[in-house]
Structure 1
Amino acid sequence: MATYLVGDIQGCFTDLIALLEDVDFDRQRDHLYIAGDLVARGPDSLSVLRFVKLLGAHGHTVLGNHDLHLLAVSEGIMKPKAKDKTLPILEAEDREELLHWLRQQPLLLHVEKSNTTHSGFVMSHAGISPDWDLATAKSCASEVESVLRSDRYQWLLEKMYANEPAMWSESLSGIERYRYTINALTRMRYCTPDGRLDMACKLPPHQINDGSLIPWFEMPNRQPIAPMQVFGHWAALGGVMKNNVLGLDTGCVWGGAMTMMRWEDGQVFSRPCPVHAG
């Protein structure tokens, strides 16, 4: 049995299958963990959803910002965008089954497994707020997951679209607490020096030279989290492994590559991809 971790798929179904064939992925024995954004911008988001769902207990994903947006579109809260290429999902016969399954997926996964070299990992789409320890991150994620899986999910999907509050406080409650959690786990890239989440900048860190923004994983007062923190979301990084974080989004949908790590031995597999986003 092997455990494979992969970054954003974003509808790039044929690239995912090709990479799984490269590593001889066994659907009956191996496990696949996806760092969110199963859908949007690539050519075949419908097949990605169907495939990961069919993996059953051997397929695991966290929700990304594009996944949440698809759920909002499916409820008529937001209008579909042609560039997202998700209309086939909305028109599919198994639409309701797929979207219900997607809504049950977590915002954060903590895999507690150990071997001679690794003691487990925690996965979320964008990262983990520098102000959170692992217990807080898991608790906040669980709060939002409970609402998404309840009959209040439409209310949450409607109210999640805002950048505030940008600063964490344990006193946050209700939609403000949920929104901070969603933004931290699915949208965050940078923080300001005082710890506020920045939702605007998508540039790579080497292009930020004035000290106004700091990658979340380089914040000097970031709470220590022992397991490796695995994330996607930030294609401009081109992948990263430092400060106990592993970034796996290498921009497949933009003509970069799809990157996968085998957790047990740390071997990295990468497959160049054509440009899919238009």
Structure 2
Amino acid sequence: MNPVWAIGDIQGCCQALDRLLSLPVVAADADRKFWFAGDLVNRGPQSLAALRLVMSLGERAVTVLGNHDLHLLAAAAGKRKLRKSDTLAEILDAPDAAEILDWVRHRPLAHAEDGYLLVHAGVLPSWTVDQTLARAAEVEAVLRGRNWQDFLGSMYGDEPDAWSDKLRGADRLRVIVNALTRMRFCSADGRMEFATKGEAAAPPAGYMPWFEAPERLTRDTTVVFGHWSTLGLRMTDGVIALDTGCVWGGKLTAVRLADRKIAQIECAGLPGMRQPEE
């Protein structure tokens, strides 16, 4: 396996990403590859430039879809209106918007390689790695299909809040999307909770961080993910959490998987950084 640097949520902070990729410790790795944990775009000041930079890496980059990337697709499909805090208009108005959106909707929701599983948010406790990839592939097939816009209209919602093999249609796909791109807390049996976005040490009653579920079937695999800025950088035997709040003036973090070497860019003071209350 070539040296892989896993990178947390960029959210349109292209200047930070450019600086990170240029750090000597990162640039010195020959044949280096990059795994992006999703949310390439939105809220930061340079969403279009961030997308272009990641796209320019070609096969050296693996990118999984995050909730903000899906929001971009939903807005492009006319299924969601842009919010005041969104910074996606420059992508939708770009002369090559169709090409860019086509690239985005062909990204996976999960990627596994050499004992690592990359997702944006989390994995339900009852899913194995193979099941995670298979269920991600169900959504990927729809996003890459002819009627991808229709799916995005039915993607949003908090219900059902738990997985069942009996789920079909939009409900089934919604649970898969929510687990892989939105989940932070779940119950021991995999019931998801979406209202709480705070620190892992303060879960709602009856819930826990998804990676602490006692019977999680991916516990023998290292899950690499972003999405949870209040969690910050966390590395254990089975978890590498990478979202360190770049867009909020925190840091943009990369971890080299082979030896867990950390590379970071301080984002405070960079143009366009937001305040947490936004």
TM score, norm. by length of structure 1: 0.92
Partner of 1:47: 49
Partner of 1:135: 130
Q: CA deviation at 1:212?
A: 2.6
Matched ranges for 1:15-54 at <5 A:
15-22=16-23, 23-25=25-27, 29-54=31-56
User: Paired residue for 1:93, among 84, 92, 95?
Assistant: 95
Contact 1:16/1:258 (<8 A) preserved: yes
CA shift in 2, pair 1:194/1:57, >3 Å: closer
Partner of 1:271: 265
Q: Distance in 1 between matches of 2:172 and 2:51?
A: 29
Which runs of 5 or more residues in structure 1 are unaligned? 113-119
Q: CA deviation at 1:134?
A: 1.1
Contact 2:26/2:263 (<8 A) preserved: no
Partner SS state of residue 235, structure 2: strand
Q: Distance in 1 between matches of 2:165 and 2:77?
A: 31
Q: Could you report, residue by residue, the CA deviation over 1:4-31 in whole angstroms, capped at 9, with x for unpaired residues?
A: 1011000000001111111343798321
Matched ranges for 1:65-144 at <5 A:
65-112=67-114, 120-144=115-139
CA shift in 2, pair 1:68/1:28, >3 Å: farther
Q: CA deviation at 1:264?
A: 2.2
Q: CA deviation at 1:182?
A: 0.2
Q: CA deviation at 1:241?
A: 1.7
Q: Distance in 2 between matches of 1:89 and 1:224?
A: 36
Partner SS state of residue 206, structure 1: coil
Q: Distance in 2 between matches of 1:266 and 1:88?
A: 35
Letter in 2 for 1:8: D
Q: Could you report, residue by residue, the CA deviation over 1:173-201 in whole angstroms, capped at 9, with x for unpaired residues?
A: 11111110000000000013442111111
Partner of 1:14: 15
Q: Could you report, residue by residue, the CA deviation over 1:60-117 in whole angstroms, capped at 9, with x for unpaired residues?
A: 10000000000000111111123111111111111111001000000001123xxxxx
CA shift in 2, pair 1:225/1:139, >3 Å: farther
Partner of 1:184: 179
Q: Distance in 2 between matches of 1:46 and 1:27?
A: 27
Q: Is residue 201 of structure 2 the alignment partner of residue 200 of structure 1?
A: no
Q: CA deviation at 1:156?
A: 1.1
Contact 1:218/1:243 (<8 A) preserved: no
Partner SS state of residue 81, structure 1: coil
Contact 1:217/1:243 (<8 A) preserved: no
CA shift in 2, pair 1:19/1:73, >3 Å: same
Q: Distance in 2 between matches of 1:24 and 1:225?
A: 28
Q: Percent identity among equivalent residues?
A: 43
Contact 1:11/1:38 (<8 A) preserved: yes
Partner SS state of residue 230, structure 2: helix
Letter in 2 for 1:271: I
Letter in 2 for 1:182: V
Contact 1:125/1:186 (<8 A) preserved: yes
Q: How many residues align?
A: 270
Partner of 2:229: 235
Contact 1:27/1:58 (<8 A) preserved: no
Q: Distance in 1 between matches of 2:255 and 2:37?
A: 12
Contact 1:52/1:60 (<8 A) preserved: no
Letter in 2 for 1:157: L
Q: Distance in 1 between matches of 2:108 and 2:68?
A: 14
Contact 2:188/2:215 (<8 A) preserved: no
